[in-house]
């Protein structure tokens, strides 16, 4: 079984969130299930400079405004196909925008090119590589199924995975004529979306199968509350929508060998975590000593409930415990978090930025990892928390609800709780969740049991990779 994965991010080359973790880990684990996967990615500046030996496998005289080459490369265990198109990708900044956070105005062309090349590969562009499945991720790859729905016949089946329905890739209708799609594609049952062009909509409309990254989110997005305007069409495609939980790469996230930790540890030596906690406290300028340390590692956005967190801080500080926050995002939320740290020196510490190494140290040192999201397709920080003995304190929504078992008294009695769940979208419920965590922490033996249970739970890709492999087999009838 040959699979082409199409994505705008892949760890360790380019990452702005969980999408990169998934696309970087899944192809490797799929290998253990008889699936050989290659990944198509844009040749952003940071990608091109990280590639070692490459081989040119195709050229394009004019790929959405300029010449381009398709390169084959290997990165560790990953087989890559990279679109070297300087006019589209050779720029500073993030994959999606300028350093000041503004989207690139030609994002439609940058990601139409990704979809176009993905579809060309499915039609046998490169000799010796005929994918049975094209697996496209998020709106940036949403045009792959659209290009494959028209024109020459091919045998590839398409899977489109939604990692977050909130990012929709909407553009003005005037770009449609440049997409190289037939006029009939601009229709309500095509890529037309509220009068414009919707790349996410295209993926949802034309893919043979739609998946999202947790069973609960797969249910939620069928409702108006979570459907972001797409619930109607998702319901219409009900039989082709499946939730498959993400895992994490347990080699990268392994507390017993993690070099970013001051002290490595395992479930048998959980007490050693305290040295990492001391390092985290120092790094964030927080008071030393006992008491629960909460950590947040997150995009600072409304989705992640960071405004709720900011509003809860004064109450939380009064309850005890300390909080460290690593993240970046919306300017007003960054400001609110920095102001909270100023108000509560020694109790609240905030580092604005993106720091992979520090995120590992925090997971290995904080007592509770806090995820107050309003909606969460899957969420990876709580999975990493489970593996690192950082007890997840999370909102009961999407993948958070699917991966954390609330340690209420019945669950503790039954020996199954792995974290604390609270109702999403309210400061009161968040504060109650924090208070429950603080109370649980006051019983060190019970807390340690919850921690150990989390560390033992399977957060790897094993189960999910098998589910994807099965899905591919069903689609190809093999």
Minimum separation from the CB atom of position 387 to ligand ADP (A): 12
Indicate the length of the chain as a whole number. Answer: 478
Closest contact distance (angstroms) between CB of 377 and ligand ADP is 7
**Which H helix or E strand runs over 294?**
strand 293-300
Smallest separation, CB 425 to ligand ADP (Å): 16
Q: Which is nearer to ligand ADP, 355 or 425 (CB)?
A: 355
CB of 64 to ligand ADP, least distance (A): 27
CB of 232 to ligand ADP, least distance (A): 24
The smaller minimum CB distance to ligand ADP, of residues 88 and 393, is found at 393
Which residue bears the tokens 């919850």?
450
Q: Which is nearer to ligand ADP, 145 or 327 (CB)?
A: 327
Spatial strand order of the sheet with 420-422 comes to: 348-352, 322-329, 293-300, 368-371, 391-395, 420-422
Q: Name which of 352 and 416 has its Cβ closer to ligand ADP.
A: 352
Element (H, E) at 225: helix 224-227
Give the residue nearest to ligand ADP (CB). Answer: 18
- Rounded least distance, CB 6 to ligand ADP, Å: 18
Least distance to ligand ADP, CB of residue 388, Å: 11
Nearest residue (CB) to ligand ADP, 13 versus 109: 13
Q: Are 217 and 225 in contact (CB under 8 A)?
A: no
Separation CA 244–CA 462 (nearest Å): 12
| Interstrand relation of 157-162 and 78-84 (parallel, antiparallel or unpaired) | unpaired
Tell me the DSSP string of 320-386: --EEEEEEEE-HHHHHHHHHHHHHSTTTEEEEES--HHHHHHHHHH-SEEEE--S--SS-SHHHHHH
Nearest to ligand ADP of 190, 247 (CB atom):
247
- Residues in contact with 408: Cβ distance below 8 Å, sequence separation at least 6, in sequence order: 417
Which residues of this chain interact with ligand ADP, rule CB under 6 A? 17-18, 21, 164, 297-299, 326-328, 354-356, 359, 378-381
Q: Which is nearer to ligand ADP, 27 or 190 (CB)?
A: 27
| DSSP category for residue 456 | H
* DSSP secondary structure, 59-123, as one string: EES-SSSS-EEEEEEEETTEEEEEEE-HHHH--SS-SSB-TTSPBPTTHHHHHHHHHHHHHHHHT
**Shortest distance in whole angstroms from residue 349 CB to ligand ADP:** 14
Q: Which lies closer to ligand ADP via its Cβ, residue 176 or residue 226?
A: 226
């Amino acid at each position: 079984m040959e699979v082409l994965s199409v994505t705008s991010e892949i760890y360790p080359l380019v990452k702005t969130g969980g999408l990169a973790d998934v696309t970087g880990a899944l192809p490797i684990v799929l290998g253990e299930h008889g699936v050989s996967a290659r990944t198509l990615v844009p040749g952003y500046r940071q990608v091109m400079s990280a590639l070692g030996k490459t081989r040119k496998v195709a050229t394009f005289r004019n790929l959405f405004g300029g010449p381009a080459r398709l390169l084959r490369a290997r990165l560790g265990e990953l087989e890559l196909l990279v679109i070297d198109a300087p006019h589209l990708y050779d720029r500073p900044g993030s994959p999606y925008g300028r350093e000041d956070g503004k989207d690139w105005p030609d994002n439609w062309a940058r990601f139409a090119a990704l979809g176009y090349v993905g579809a060309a590969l499915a039609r046998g562009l490169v000799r010796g590589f005929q994918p049975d499945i094209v697996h496209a991720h998020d709106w940036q790859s949403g045009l792959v199924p659209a290009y494959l729905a028209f024109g020459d016949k091919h045998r590839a089946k398409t899977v489109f995975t939604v990692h977050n329905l909130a990012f929709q890739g909407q553009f003005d209708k005037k770009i449609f004529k440049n997409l190289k799609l037939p006029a009939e594609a601009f229709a309500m049952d095509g890529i037309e979306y509220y009068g414009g062009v919707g790349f996410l909509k295209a993926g949802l409309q034309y893919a043979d199968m739609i998946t999202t990254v947790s069973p609960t989110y797969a249910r939620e997005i069928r409702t108006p509350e979570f459907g972001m305007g797409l619930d109607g069409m998702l319901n219409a495609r009900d039989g082709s929508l499946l939730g498959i939980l993400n895992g994490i790469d347990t080699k990268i996230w392994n507390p017993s060998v993690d070099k970013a930790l001051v002290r490595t540890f395992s479930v048998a030596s959980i007490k050693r975590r305290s040295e990492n906690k001391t390092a985290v406290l120092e790094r964030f300028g927080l008071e030393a000593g006992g008491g629960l340390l909460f950590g947040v590692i997150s995009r600072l956005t409304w989705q992640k409930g960071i405004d709720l967190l900011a509003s809860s801080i004064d109450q939380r500080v009064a309850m005890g415990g300390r909080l460290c926050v690593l993240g970046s995002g919306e300017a007003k939320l960054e400001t609110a978090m920095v102001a909270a740290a100023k108000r509560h020196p020694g109790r609240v510490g905030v580092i604005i930025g993106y720091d992979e190494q520090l995120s590992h140290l925090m997971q290995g040192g904080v007592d509770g990892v806090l995820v107050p999201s309003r909606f969460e397709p899957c969420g990876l920080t709580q999975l990493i928390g489970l593996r690192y003995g950082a007890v997840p304190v999370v909102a009961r929504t999407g993948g958070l609800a699917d991966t954390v078992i609330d340690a209420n008294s019945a669950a503790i009695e039954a020996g199954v709780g792995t974290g604390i769940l609270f109702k999403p979208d309210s400061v009161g419920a968040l504060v109650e969740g924090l208070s429950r965590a603080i109370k649980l922490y006051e019983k060190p033996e019970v807390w340690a049991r919850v921690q150990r249970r989390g560390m033992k739970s399977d957060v790897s890709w094993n189960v999910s990779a098998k589910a994807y492999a099965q899905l591919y087999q069903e689609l190809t009838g093999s």
